[in-house]
């Protein structure tokens, strides 16, 4: 089942609008390939391609849990995870652009 999902994702990857029209990468470039590598079990390759994927997944999981269980400091924790994730996205973006 997982192999079929991976095969579907590999054959139906959406092209990057910015790369296609402007010739530059966007801060989200690599997320699809990183997810595919993560589903294949290649954790290090996934992190190399898009380091912010795993924190982003964690952010959404924690968001859902917070919405269901109403954690006492959940909104504050979500805010800090989000800020950290955005910082990681832009660090990896600038690394891609300037290397």
Q: What is the pLDDT of residues 55-69, one digit of tens each?
A: 999 999 999 999 999
Spatial separation of the C-alpha atoms in residues 6 and 67, rounded to whole Å: 29
The crossing angle, in degrees rounded to 10, of helices 74-98 and 53-69 is 170
Predicted local distance difference test score (pLDDT) of residue 99: 85
Q: Is the pTM of this model over 0.75?
A: yes
Alpha carbon 2 to its chain centroid, in Å, reads: 19
User: Residue 13 pLDDT more than 90?
Assistant: yes
> At what angle are helices 53-69 and 31-40 packed, to 10 degrees?
80
Contact 88, 50 (CB under 8 A): no
What span, in angstroms and rounded, lies between the C-alpha atoms of 32 and 22? 19
Averaged pLDDT score across all residues of the chain: 95
């Amino acid at each position: 089942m997982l192999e079929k999902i991976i095969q579907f994702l590999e054959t139906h990857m959406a092209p990057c609008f910015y790369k296609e029209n402007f010739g530059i990468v966007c801060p989200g470039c690599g997320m699809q390939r990183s997810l595919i590598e993560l589903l294949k079990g290649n954790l290090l390759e996934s992190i190399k391609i898009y380091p912010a994927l795993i924190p982003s997944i964690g952010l959404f999981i924690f968001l859902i849990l917070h919405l269901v269980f109403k954690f006492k400091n959940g909104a504050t924790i979500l805010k800090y995870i989000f800020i950290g994730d955005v910082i990681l996205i832009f660090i990896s973006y600038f690394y891609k652009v300037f290397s």
